[in-house]
Amino acid sequence: MPLLGKYYVPGLYVEDHAIAVPTDWNGANPADVMRSGLPKSSKDVDDGFPPTLSLFYRVLCAPDHVHDDLPLLVFLQGGPGGQCPRPLGPDDDGWIAEAIKHFRVVLPDQRGTGRSSRIDAQVISGMGARRAADYLKLFLADSIVRDFEYLRLKEFDGARWVSLGQSYGGFLTLTYLSLYPHGLAASFTTGGIPHVPADAAEVYAHTFPRMAMKTRQYYERYPQDARRVAAIADRLAQGDVTLPNGDPFSVRRLQMLGSDFGMKPSFERLHWLVDQAFTGGDGAILPEDDESGVTHADHAFGQAPAALSTGFLMNVLARTASYERPLYWPLQEFIYADGEMERPIRWAAQHELERHPEFATTARPLMFTGEAVFPWMFDEDSSLRPFKPAVELLMEDTRFGRIYDADRLARNDVPLQAAVYHDDMYVDSGMQLDTLSRVGNSHAWVTNEFEHDGVHHGTRVFRRLYEEALNRGDLADLQ
């Protein structure tokens, strides 16, 4: 096992590792590659891409378990394009504190993220559109799961492991169960059971009503923010505001701040952000307005408010730019692409948005969008602009890797325990339950106590899943 480093952070023993994996699996099984070996050079592959990528992973355990023979738990990170956690300690990411009591935890950075041959705008800008589109296809679920199965075989002596999939990690879980169920002893998912068969248009037909509901809940909690947000939008509509990196700051980019609404405490984060949007005096919308509901001069939203503060603009940039997660938006709709499709995706979220006039940039109160990618983002966000030609080609493609095997899922015998968040903004709970009804040996815990990120807040979600599996005997082979 190539060891890059070992060290302690408070409460955790950490090892860093990396291995090489094929850039293009081209449908090959990891077990076959184990026998035949990795491609040695570009001459050994057909597409001209580098023959291998680096797969980086960390292994965590409690300091008092360093020398213990513990079962393995592999974490399947959310995304797409999300790297694994960089914990400050076991309590920094709630599930870790509980998991290290029972497991040695494996944290792989999915290909293209973190330290696993990271892709960003610089990498893509050096490619032509078609080549970049074909390259991006290699960073979806079929390749990610093959990487992880190869990692299990090569570095962990083929020991079966338990998987924990958060959000998109739940999608990866069903791909793993479809392709290599023999590698899994049991699986946990949190807020991440996709609908099978996959259909991006169907997903967004369910998503936009929830976006509207979340926006209404936000304004009900902080009614004064409806007026402040409207004033910000009216100022942006004049078209001359830029973010600190020079990107235009449009009303639709403001609407992107709702992407956070499925997490806690997102309403509070947005409330305190818009609270400091304006400069001058006491930060009121207009200098003569005390925001008590009584104004000292008659004015409408259309009048020019005080200037937007630099701190507000910087925070908006940090929350909406793609520097930290460059693959998140480019791959967003292609996580629903499964094999040979009857029709291309063609900006499913944009088509659904056009059916909802309440989301217009001129509507008041202004509605916020959620986890949805739109064509304009690849013009207005300079960190995404190099991806535009490739994404436009992918939107017309109909051939992708197979990610789900419905028949195998129906016959699944790997214990699957899913936390389904009833009010999940990102992954519809009804669609999750419909899929689980057709997956063998699956069990759902439905709760409205948590939002989409519940597993990260304390130990309760992971402990509940673990104890239910333990009490059913699902983990007996690991004891």
Summarize pLDDT for 453-465 with one digit per residue, the tens: 999 999 999 999 9
Taking the C-alpha atoms of 306, 307, 311 and 317 in order, what is their torsion angle to the nearest 10 degrees? 120
Q: Per residue in 369-392, pLDDT tens?
A: 999 999 999 999 999 999 999 999
Tell me the mean pLDDT in the region 78-83. Answer: 96
Residue 167 in this model has a pLDDT that exceeds 70: yes
- Which band of pLDDT confidence, cut at 50, 70 and 90, is reported for residue 283? confident
Q: Could you give the CA distance from residue 146 to residue 29 in angstroms, rounded to a whole number?
A: 7
Residue with the bigger pLDDT between 45 and 169: it is 169
Secondary structure class of 54 (helix, strand, coil)? strand
Residue 297 in this model has a pLDDT that exceeds 60: no
Q: Show the 3-state SS of 377-395.
A: HHHHCCCCHHHHHHHHHHC
The gap from C-alpha 473 to its chain's centroid, in whole angstroms, comes to: 31
Taking the C-alpha atoms of 344, 190, 254 and 246 in order, what is their torsion angle to the nearest 10 degrees? -80
Q: Could you give the CA distance from residue 406 to residue 388 in angstroms, rounded to a whole number?
A: 33
Q: Per residue in 463-474, pLDDT tens?
A: 999 999 999 999
How many DSSP H helices and E strands does the chain contain? Answer: 17, 9
Taking the C-alpha atoms of 167, 143, 342 and 334 in order, what is their torsion angle to the nearest 10 degrees? 40
Residue 298 in this model has a pLDDT that exceeds 90: no
Q: Could you give the CA distance from residue 171 to residue 40 in angstroms, rounded to a whole number?
A: 31
Q: Tell how strand 52-61 and strand 12-22 pair up.
A: antiparallel
Residue 111 DSSP label: T
Return the ∠ at Cα 313 (arms to 310 and 315), rounded to 5°: 110
Name the pTM for this structure. 0.94
Q: Could you give the CA distance from residue 29 to residue 318 in angstroms, rounded to a whole number?
A: 40
Half-sphere CA count of 331, side-chain side, radius 13 A: 26
Check residue 302 and give its pLDDT.
45
Check residue 2 and give its pLDDT.
76
Please check whether residue 59 is in contact with residue 106, taking contact to mean a CB–CB distance below 8 angstroms: yes
Q: Could you give the CA distance from residue 458 to residue 377 in angstroms, rounded to a whole number?
A: 34
Closest CA relative to residue 327, chosen from 122, 168, 121: 121
- Which band of pLDDT confidence, cut at 50, 70 and 90, is reported for residue 300? very low
Q: Could you give the CA distance from residue 162 to residue 279 in angstroms, rounded to a whole number?
A: 52
Closest CA relative to residue 15, chosen from 76, 75, 66, 74: 66
Which domains are assigned to the chain? 3-198+403-478 (3.40.50.1820), 200-394 (no CATH)
Tell me the mean pLDDT in the region 103-130. Answer: 96
Average pLDDT, the chain: 93
- Which band of pLDDT confidence, cut at 50, 70 and 90, is reported for residue 285? confident
Percent of the chain with pLDDT strictly greater than 90: 90
Check residue 286 and give its pLDDT.
62
Euclidean distance between the first and final Cα of the chain, in Å?
Answer: 24
- Which band of pLDDT confidence, cut at 50, 70 and 90, is reported for residue 159? very high
Secondary structure class of 359 (helix, strand, coil)? helix
**Residue recorded with tokens 């809940």:** 217
Q: Cα-flanking dihedrals φ and ψ of residue 35, to 5°?
A: -80, -40
Please check whether residue 432 is in contact with residue 418, taking contact to mean a CB–CB distance below 8 angstroms: yes
Alpha helices in 290-415 (DSSP H): 310-320, 348-353, 377-380, 388-394, 406-410
The length of the chain, given as a count of residues: 479
Q: Per residue in 176-213, pLDDT tens?
A: 999 999 999 999 999 999 999 999 999 999 999 999 99
Task: Find all residues with CB under 8 Å of 79, minimum gap 6, and list them.
Answer: 110, 113, 167, 168, 169, 325, 327, 328, 331
Q: Could you give the CA distance from residue 354 to residue 307 in angstroms, rounded to a whole number?
A: 31
Q: Could you give the CA distance from residue 46 to residue 135 in angstroms, rounded to a whole number?
A: 13
Q: Could you give the CA distance from residue 435 to residue 196 in angstroms, rounded to a whole number?
A: 6
Tell me the mean pLDDT in the region 62-86. Answer: 96
Residue 248 DSSP label: B
